[in-house]
Amino acid sequence: MLTAGAALPFYNEPALAQLSKIENVPPDAVMINANENPLGPCVEAAEAVHSVVSKGGRYMYAETDALQNLLAEQEGLEPSYVQVFAGSSAPLHQAVLAFTSPEKSFVTGDPGYEAGERAAKFIGSKVVRVPLTKDYAHDVKAMAVADSNAGLIYICNPNNPTGTLLERSGIESILQAATNTAVVIDEAYAELSGATVIPWIKKYPQLFVVRTFSKAAGLAALRLGAVMACTDSIALLQRAMPPFPINVAALLAADAAIRDRQTMQRYVRDVHRSRGWFEQQLKTLGVKTYPSAANFVLANFGPEGPALFQRLERKGILLRDRTREIGTGFVRITIGTQKEMERLVREIKRYR
């Protein structure tokens, strides 16, 4: 039986924010540092946002229910199994508040997506970081036994920043071992990986699956995500939710994006094609890459990497240097448009 742990009388979003933003970005910059969709929202989503501006004076409760019903129908769930949030970090923060404390730890892969760990540290919860395997995959055996008093085990799948995909059998082994621990599977890149454990929600009441509209749907700035879990587990997250957490523009844009599957599918095909091309280009330059099931690639440029990344930034090409988290010369590179990736390769060749 899951129980709630920590509680806060306030919710400090800036304190839980992501890593620092880059200032003074030039208008022609190649922004391949944040795993965004460079194409943005589909036409229907943009039109939906425009159409609702004049109605912005009303709270419009029905739109939240409508989107949750649509998501539930898409995934074969009851509407009570779905709760939308402002982005996918928000439900992760809520889960940290609900299930972790100084006694109940937050268990995560290292390196991994930082939002949950940052939230846990902010409220004083114990954090247990489990190193990835030598292939940069989650070590599920070690995570399952990392702390006998774990409150929450978090797995981003595919993992960010490595792009590695954990097999379903690995996830199920944790669910079977940690029956009294909340297990959050972050499927931010599910459209790209084609992998999901949503069908297991009814089987494992401690399972929470997080999704986002910031990647394949191209709605990063509108902030829309969702969590799916059994009704009683969803209720534990809802207890600390603020009223009216989602703006109606995001709700209607997400609704339109879901209905326009072709645009998302086209984006996924383009990423797969450009990712393969880019990996091959790096290979010919002697740069090691790691298998990715997401819209980014982890690469190792070695000792010369940090200087190269700074030169590229001065040229208006923004990457995510992961030297601090992984090792000197490691970088996470989002797959942008083919034109952007070709520009990046040209600039890399100038300096290597």
**If pLDDT is split at 50, 70 and 90, which confidence band does 13 have?**
very low
Q: Kindly report the CATH number assigned to the domain that includes residue 33.
A: 3.90.1150.10
Closest CA to 248 of 42, 52, 70: 52
Out of 211, 238, 259, a domain closes at 259
Asked whether the predicted pLDDT for residue 330 surpasses 60, the reply is yes
**Helix 62-75 to helix 248-259 angle, to the nearest 10 degrees?**
30
Same domain, 227 and 336: no
Check residue 22 and give its pLDDT. 61
Question: Do the Cβ atoms of 261 and 268 come closer than 8 Å?
Answer: no
Check residue 2 and give its pLDDT. 61
Coil, helix or strand at residue 299 = strand
Query: Model's pTM, two decimal places?
Result: 0.92
Peptide bond before 158: cis, by omega within 30 degrees of 0? yes
Region 118-128: what's the mean pLDDT? 96
Region 94-101: what's the mean pLDDT? 95
- Alpha-carbon gap, residue 8 to 15, rounded angstroms: 13
Same domain, 254 and 309: no
- Alpha-carbon gap, residue 286 to 171, rounded angstroms: 34
Check residue 26 and give its pLDDT. 80
Asked whether the predicted pLDDT for residue 242 surpasses 90, the reply is no
Out of 224, 242, 259, a domain closes at 259
| Beta strands 82-85; 225-228: pairing state | antiparallel
Closest CA to 22 of 261, 251, 246, 310: 310
**If pLDDT is split at 50, 70 and 90, which confidence band does 21 have?**
low
Domain that holds residue 324: 25-40+261-351
Same domain, 250 and 310: no
Same domain, 230 and 93: yes
Whether residue 52 is contained in a domain is answered as yes
Region 187-200: what's the mean pLDDT? 97
Same domain, 122 and 239: yes
Q: What is the DSSP string of 123-143?
A: TT--EEEEE--TTS---HHHH
**Average pLDDT over the chain, rounded to an integer:** 91
Out of 240, 259, 278, a domain closes at 259
Same domain, 228 and 177: yes
Same domain, 255 and 125: yes
Q: What percent of the chain has pLDDT over 70?
A: 93
Check residue 317 and give its pLDDT. 97
Whether residue 11 is contained in a domain is answered as no
Check residue 251 and give its pLDDT. 94
Q: Kindly report the CATH number assigned to the domain that includes residue 94.
A: 3.40.640.10
Whether residue 19 is contained in a domain is answered as no
Same domain, 250 and 210: yes
Same domain, 122 and 215: yes
Whether residue 10 is contained in a domain is answered as no
- Alpha-carbon gap, residue 80 to 14, rounded angstroms: 30
Of residues 242 and 73, more confidently modeled: 73
Of residues 21 and 341, more confidently modeled: 341
Coil, helix or strand at residue 337 = coil
Strand locations in the chain (E): 30-31, 82-85, 105-110, 127-131, 150-156, 182-186, 207-212, 225-228, 288-289, 296-300, 317-318, 320-321, 330-334
Whether residue 203 is contained in a domain is answered as yes
Whether residue 170 is contained in a domain is answered as yes
Question: Do the Cβ atoms of 312 and 319 come closer than 8 Å?
Answer: yes
Region 324-332: what's the mean pLDDT? 96
Region 162-169: what's the mean pLDDT? 96
Whether residue 255 is contained in a domain is answered as yes
Whether residue 180 is contained in a domain is answered as yes
Same domain, 227 and 296: no
Count of structural domains within the chain: 2
Q: How many C-beta atoms surround the C-beta of residue 61 within 10 A? A: 10
- Alpha-carbon gap, residue 134 to 114, rounded angstroms: 20
Same domain, 246 and 269: no
Check residue 351 and give its pLDDT. 86
Check residue 54 and give its pLDDT. 85
**If pLDDT is split at 50, 70 and 90, which confidence band does 56 have?**
confident
Same domain, 65 and 32: no
